[in-house]
Structures are given as structure tokens and as C-alpha cells.
Amino acid sequence: MRYAVLSDIHANLEALRAVLADCRGEVDGAVCLGDLVGYGADPIPCIELLAERAVALVAGNHEYGVTGKLALGWFNSYARAAAAWTAEQLDVDHRAYLGSLALTALVAEATLVHASPSRPDEWEYLITAEEGFDAFSAFDTRLCFIGHSHRPAYWSLGATGPVWGSGAFDIALESGRRYLVNVGSVGQPRDRDPRACYAIWDRTARRITIRRVTYDVAEARRKIIAAGLPRLLADRLENGT
């Protein structure tokens, strides 16, 4: 079994389509770690694509924001404007669908969560080595996939000691070790690489690989500006910040 593991699509339809095309025919299904919406101009098409293709989805803070589960005052001004705009685009069915998503899910030997498995509804960022290793006590599975920071990274614990890495990686899953993996962001990377980012989880080969995919950034930017969303949300797509 092979899965595409996606997170932080952020209503970027061009990036999502490019990622799905990149893994077409190579995976048995997709899982999504939340933040389907927010920032970008295509929330409904992104929701529908993932609802159709993903075998499991969990909620991110932007799902909570647009469905009223998280006060918009929690967000910075740019994210708040995007969340308010997105909420206006959603009909009753799409809003109900997003509101029904759980904070965590299990797929085989993996826990899925948007932010931290320790306190999923507090939306903590796991970025440093220490932050990631502290979260291992909060999940019992061999693997835990996360998003939220928009930066790919992995943490591993086992008898030979802790291992931490960030950026592009292709790791073999060793017996006796546990892993926490951030798969980066499909729709709004923040690691200074503007290409869409996701992971391939190959359960048969026991590997997790980060992939980067080029997409039509110019079109994604054009749609954001045309929708009247903050221009910063368009401009940051060009340099991956």
C-alpha cells in the first residue's frame, strides 16, 4: 500500500491538481492532515477533490475558523480576512462537511493530526527538535503525520538515539523506531521553496519520501488578487514564505 500524505492545501487548486497528477497511478489513496481551506481562492473545488479522493481527513485550524469552532480573533489579520471570506463562500453542505471532520484519525499504523498530537485543539507548532520529541508521548502508533508549520521535517526515536531532520528527505522506516513526520504544505510552502510539497508513504517498501512539484503559481496568485483577498497571500506563493 502506498499513500499520498497531503496537508495545508489552503484552497490552492492549482497546487492540489499538480500534486494529484504527480502521484496518479503510484498510490492507492490519499490522506489529508487539514487546512483544506484558507488563504487561497478555491475552497469549494479543493474540498470536493479531497472529499472524493482521500481515505481519511482531519480538521485543521482553518476548518475550525471557517465553521465557527475557533474565534477568528485567534488568527493574524491576513488569515482572519481569508477565513471570513472563505466562510462567505461555503454553502450549508460544505460548511457541515468541514465541521464534521475529527481532530485525529488512524490509518494503519499511523496517527493523523494537523498540529500536535499532544493537544490537537491548541494548534501548537512543532518545528524544533525538542518540540517534536516532546510530542512522542502523545501518540501510541509507530507513525504520526502532521502539518501546520508548512515545513517538511521528521523526528525519530529508537534504541540508537534520537534523529531529527528537515527539508527534503527520503527515509527508510527501521524496525524498533517510531517516527513523527511533517509533510509540508501543498498550497502554501514556507520553507523558501515555492513548489508544492507532500509525502509518499510506502507501507510495503517501508519508506517515506518528500516530493516537490511545480504548479501554476501565476494563476493561483491571479485568483487570490481577483477575489479581493490580501495581496500578501498571493505574493508569498512566489518565494515560498
Average pLDDT over residues 79-107: 97
Average pLDDT over residues 64-74: 96
pLDDT of residue 114: 98
Structural contact between residues 156 and 163, judged by C-beta atoms closer than 8 angstroms: yes
| 57 pLDDT tier (thresholds 50, 70, 90) | very high
pLDDT digits (tens, 9 = 90+) for 185-214: 999 999 999 999 999 999 999 999 999 999
CATH number assigned to the domain comprising residue 78: 3.60.21.10
pLDDT of residue 148: 98
Q: Domain containing 28: what range? A: 2-239
pLDDT of residue 111: 98
Number of domains making up the chain: 1
Secondary structure (3-state) at 14: helix
* Edge-to-edge strands, sheet with 143-146: 104-107, 110-113, 143-146, 178-182, 153-157, 163-166
Asked whether the CA dihedral 97, 54, 125, 140 is positive or negative, the reply is positive
Question: How many Å apart are CA 65 and CA 222, to the nearest integer?
Answer: 24
What pTM, to 2 d.p., does this model score? Answer: 0.97
Question: How many Å apart are CA 18 and CA 216, to the nearest integer?
Answer: 9
